[in-house]
Amino acid sequence: MSAFYRAVNWNRQKVIYDGVLAGSVVLYLATFVDITLGRDSQATLETALIRGLGTAALVLLTVILAIGPLARFDPRWLPILYNRRHLGVTMCLLALAHAGLAIVQFHALGDANPFVSLLTGAADVRHLGTFPFELLGVGALIILVLMAATSHDFWLATLTAPVWKAVHMMVYVAYGLLLAHVALGSLQSEAGVAAWFFLGGSGALVFGLHILGGRRERGLDRAELQDDAEGWVEICGVDEIRELRARIAMVGGERIAVFRHEDRISCVSNVCQHQNGPLGEGKIVDGCITCPWHGYQYLPESGQSPPPFTEKIPTFNVQVKTGRVFVQRTPNPPGTRVEPVLIR
């Protein structure tokens, strides 16, 4: 929870995470190169490595985009989501290595500057068979580098959350460009069925999960609860909220999270101030609501982050009647303390 540059302290979890990630990448590249050289007698080691780096980057990007919806469906995916930016930086490095080796291999051996050769090749944009697919990859790489360079929370605080979010939502543009880049490259090189199966599987997984996740979230938004004449909304029964967990509901056009902790009930906004993470899908750890995405924390009674952090979220007034939880429709200003309601 820091918006300042400082040395990163790798804990045991991060060391294991990065070790598994690095080992998986090395194993993938070694396997890909071995299979490519074994199946294609005309392929060189350099060409096999270029393809391996490119497909590894696309696989990681597929995982990055799929892990969000998967974590919403099953919390067992959250440990991978928690350090997702490690995947993003690794993916960007693989894409840079792929682009660098490709430029050296195909554009650095002539008389022209390699970058001039890349941008002014003899390709014809009027036909798919001659379209300069490399330029699609360049466009995707620019976006990925921009995202990796601004991945630190310093840039989130400096750019402001809306601007930072808009920049990082461009990952979907980069993903589309990469799919087109690989598809056209495969078409022009007359790649086998495996390449098209790989592309189709990646696209179907990412877009399928997002569609299913969107339908699930849309159902929650449609189930908006109505208030009574005094502005109180009945949420659920006390027994329907697990200890240290929350019940998410739609009230007044905003998602709220009603938490139960130490037989008390508190209600806050469901939106984390870091990256709009769903607080209600997290739990209370050491007395603090802990966002399941990146671990940002808030005190349930005030919506304030524990010192020295300064993030605040709105709170809501709560009451319990005959075992039912009621929340006042109008939120309190961010950071307003509301005494938790004791469950009688």
pLDDT tens, N- to C-terminus, the chain (344 residues): 444 444 456 677 788 888 999 999 999 999 999 998 998 888 889 999 999 999 999 999 999 999 989 988 887 888 888 788 899 999 999 999 999 998 888 877 767 777 777 766 656 666 766 678 888 999 999 999 999 999 887 888 788 878 888 899 999 999 999 999 998 888 877 777 788 888 999 999 999 999 998 888 777 777 667 777 678 999 999 999 999 999 999 888 889 999 999 889 999 999 998 888 899 988 999 999 999 888 889 999 999 999 888 889 999 999 999 899 999 999 999 999 999 999 86
Residue 278 is classified by DSSP as B
Q: What is the pTM of this model?
A: 0.78
pLDDT at 1: 42
Question: What was the pLDDT predicted at 83?
Answer: 80
Residue-range domain boundaries for the chain: 12-220, 232-342
Q: Which homologous superfamily does the CATH classification assign to the domain defined by 232-342?
A: Rieske [2Fe-2S] iron-sulphur domain (2.102.10.10)
The pair of three-digit structure tokens given for residue 189, joined into one six-digit string: 């090189």
pLDDT of amino acid 233 = 92
How far is 100 from 184, CA to CA, in rounded Å? 19
Q: Contacts by 69-77 with C-beta closer than 8 Å and gap 24+? A: 69/209, 69/210, 69/212, 69/213, 70/209, 71/292, 72/213, 72/216, 72/217, 72/278, 72/281, 73/212, 73/213, 73/216, 75/281, 75/292
